[in-house]
């Protein structure tokens, strides 16, 4: 159900969990967030995902 209700979140989640992460992963996730609508619940969930990817990139341990 989540795949049909939140298609942009699914796309962002798949990107965020690829190994290795693309060099421009934050920019790609931001673009998906803008497609979803930054102020929508789906956009906000993608924003949280962006924060976790950013933390993972800057705190490798």
Q: What tens digit of pLDDT does each residue of 28-47 get? A: 999 999 999 999 999 999 99
Q: Both tokens of residue 20?
A: 């290795």
Whether the full predicted model's pTM is greater than 0.75, yes or no, is: yes
C-alpha neighbours within 13 Å on the C-beta side of residue 37:
6
Answer whether residue 24 shows pLDDT above 80. Answer: yes
Instruction: Return the pLDDT at 15.
Output: 96
Q: Both tokens of residue 45?
A: 């969930």
59 secondary structure, DSSP code? -
Instruction: Return the pLDDT at 5.
Output: 86
Instruction: Return the pLDDT at 2.
Output: 58
Average pLDDT, the chain: 91
């Amino acid at each position: 159900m989540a795949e049909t209700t939140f298609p942009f979140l699914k796309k962002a989640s798949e990107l965020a969990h690829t190994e290795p992460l693309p060099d421009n992963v934050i920019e790609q996730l931001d673009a998906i967030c803008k497609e979803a609508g930054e102020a929508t619940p789906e956009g906000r969930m993608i924003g949280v995902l962006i924060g976790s990817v950013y933390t993972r990139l800057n705190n490798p341990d």
